[in-house]
Every structure is written in structure tokens, then in C-alpha cells.
């Protein structure tokens, strides 16, 4: 089942990091009939509002990229909100998609669904084989519920609802808030501000030794459009690069991209987090998809966008 260029396609969360990349990808590929609504227009946490929206618009395809998201601090601070908001958003959209006869839905998860001490690289079969990372357990539980909703709506109702689990993402429209952002955008902003303020050093939490995998968000969008057109399995699928980089090497690369001349100081008294988080991407690779944008190129594109939008970002 493939989307036509004039198919009615609803992108939930179209202003976020992932949703905006999906919109760019769809438009670049000639899809013209996109349904885009802000949270002010449709509160996705409210069942009646979502059911009314689906009844009126009747989308044929749905990319479910709407979610409440944040870094470790945000996840740990707003635990009830991360669980409640995400459960409501996904439940309402998935159920309304079923009620209104949507052709196909793609739900977006997160690699934090895997156990804290998961074997590496993490395979789809490792889900629910161990305890979750406590700091983001509420978010992870909501995401697990979403993919299980898709799986079991397929089993009970025969719908075509699929799920994708991306690795760490970065790119245009990322969250650069130093208190609530993920490691890459936080490092990029700190390094840029050290450069413009002529600071002698940038301080980085931990030893710099943990290994992480990063996927440029436009590569993810390309993968999601590919999956919507070519993947119909009930089993969710990992999306990543299959490559990892240490936080120290990432910081060095960001330093080079930004053009910062100062020092990088690693504070080993601060926590490192999980030593390694790498997805096994053999399933999506076997289906015919590969990432195209290198980490260096992705960082350059992200930094260019960040600089162009810095005054707005700084004012938030």
C-alpha cells in the first residue's frame, strides 16, 4: 500500500523536530494534500476533539509524531505529564484512526523503550526483557503502550498500523533549551555561546566516554515515508545509523563545526548515564533503507539553522 501524491495525509505534531521534518520530506517528494493542525486548533489529549477532527477531515494516512518530549531533566521532573499526555495523545489518535477508517498509520516511538541494561546493539526482540531506565520510565511506558496499541489494533481489527523506533535525533527545529534539551543540541548551544562570549572552556557533564548513536532528523523523515510506502509488518522497526560516537568525540566535532578555539572540560563528578545505546537496524536495512547524511554534515546543517534562529531561541 503506497500513498498517492494527492492522498490526504495528517502529520500529528507537525511543528516539532520530527513532524516538521516529515512535512519537509513529504513536500519535497510531491505530496500536496497535507492536514496540519496546531495543538491550539485540536487538543490531542481530548478524546472528543480528536474524534470530531477525524470525522471532519477523514485523513487516509497518519504520521503520529505528536508527543510531549524532553531530556533527562524534563523526563524526571514532569513524570506524570509525560505519562498522561503521551498516553492520551496516542490513544485518541490511534482509536480515532481506526473509527474513521484510516488506510495506514505510523506511530513514532523512542529507543528509551528498551531495558536499561539491554544487550547491544538493541534488537526489536529485546523489548520488555528487563527494567527501564528510571529517569524516563513514564515516557518509555507511554511509548511502549503506543506501539502495543498499534500491534493489537492490527491483531483485533485487521488495520495497517505500524510503529518505528528512532535512535537519538537532532536537526532543524530541535529544542536548544539548556535545562530541558538532549545532549547534542545542548552541547551545540553551549559551544556557540562559549565562542561568542570568548569563554576559555566549555564544561561537559561526565567523562565523555559513553557511546551514542545520532540520526539527522531529515534522514528519519525519509525513513518514515519509506516505511509508510513499503513496510506492513505488525512488528515495530528500529531506525538509526548503526554507527556510534563517544560524547567526547561528539563534543570535538561540534567544537570544529562551531569554530570554537577554547577548551573542553569534562566533569567526571557528574553522571555519565548509560554506557552505550546502539540500535540494531538490520531489519530496516534489509527492507531497503539506509541513512544518507553523515554526522558531520548533519551538524553543519543544524548549526547553520541554529545561528539563523539564535535570537529567537535565546529569547525563549
212: annotated binding-site residue? Answer: yes
Report d(CA 275, CA 273) in Å as an integer: 6
Whether the bond between 121 and the residue before it is cis, its omega within 30 degrees of 0, is yes
Distance of alpha carbon 250 from alpha carbon 212, whole angstroms = 9
Whether residue 16 is annotated as binding a ligand: the answer is yes
17 is in an annotated binding site: yes
Residue 15, marked binder: yes
13 assigned ligand-binding residue: yes
CA distance readout (Å), 143 to 22, 226, 302: 19, 21, 26
Indicate the pairing of strand 245-246 with strand 211-212: antiparallel
18 known ligand binder: yes
**Residue 95 annotated in ligand binding:** no
State the Cα angle at 195 between 194 and 201, rounded to 5°. 45
Task: Establish whether 157 is a catalytic residue.
Answer: no
Q: Consult the annotation and say whether 312 binds a ligand.
A: no
Catalytic residue among 31, 61, 114, 139: 139
110 is in an annotated binding site: yes
Asked whether residue 39 is marked as a ligand-binding residue, the answer is: no
Binding site residue list for substrate: 190, 205, 212, 272
Binding site residue list: 13-19, 108-111, 143, 166-169, 182, 190, 205, 212, 272
Binding site residue list for NADP(+): 13-19, 108-111, 143, 166-169, 182
Catalytic residues: 139
Amino acid at each position: 500500500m503506497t500513498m498517492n501524491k494527492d492522498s490526504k495525509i495528517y502529520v500529528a505534531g507537525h511543528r516539532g523536530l520530527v513532524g516538521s521534518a516529515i512535512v519537509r520530506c513529504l513536500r519535497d517528494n510531491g505530496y500536496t494534500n497535507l492536514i496540519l493542525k496546531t495543538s491550539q486548533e485540536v487538543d490531542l489529549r481530548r478524546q472528543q476533539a480528536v474524534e470530531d477532527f477525524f470525522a471532519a477531515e477523514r485523513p487516509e494516512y497518519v504520521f503520529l509524531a505528536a508527543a510531549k518530549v524532553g531530556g533527562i531533566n524534563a523526563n524526571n521532573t514532569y513524570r506524570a505529564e509525560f505519562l498522561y499526555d503521551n498516553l492520551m495523545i496516542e490513544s485518541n489518535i490511534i482509536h480515532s484512526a481506526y473509527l474513521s477508517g484510516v488506510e495506514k498509520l505510523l506511530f513514532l516511538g523512542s529507543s528509551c523503550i528498551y531495558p536499561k541494561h539491554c544487550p547491544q546493539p538493541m534488537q526489536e526482540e529485546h523489548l520488555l526483557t528487563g527494567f527501564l531506565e528510571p529517569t524516563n520510565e513514564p515516557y518509555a511506558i507511554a511509548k511502549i503502550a503506543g506501539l502495543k496499541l498499534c500491534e493489537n489494533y492490527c491483531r483485533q481489527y485487521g488495520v495497517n498500523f505500524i510503529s518505528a523506533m528512532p535512535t537519538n535525533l537532532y536537526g532543524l527545529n530541535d529544542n536548544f533549551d539548556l535545562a530541558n534539551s538532549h545532549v547534542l543540541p545542548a552541547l551545540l548551544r553551549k559551544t556557540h555561546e562559549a565562542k561568542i562570549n570568548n569563554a576559555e572552556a566549555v564544561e561537559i557533564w561526565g567523562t565523555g566516554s559513553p557511546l551514542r548513536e545520532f540520526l539527522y532528523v531529515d534522514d528519519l523523515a525519509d525513513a518514515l515515508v519509506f516505511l509508510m510506502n513499503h513496510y506492513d509488518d505488525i512488528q515495530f522497526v528500529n531506525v538509526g545509523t548503526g554507527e556510534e560516537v563517544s560524547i567526547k568525540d561528539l563534543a570535538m566535532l561540534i567544537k570544529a563545526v562551531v569554530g570554537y578555539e577554547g577548551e573542553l572540560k569534562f566533569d567526571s563528578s557528574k553522571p555519565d548515564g548509560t554506557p552505550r545505546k546502539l540500535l540494531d537496524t538490520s531489519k530496516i536495512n534489509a527492507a531497503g533503507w539506509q541513512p544518507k547524511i553523515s554526522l558531520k554534515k548533519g551538524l553543519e546543517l543544524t548549526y547553520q539553522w541554529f545561528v539563523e534562529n539564535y535570537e529567537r531561541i535565546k529569547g525563549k
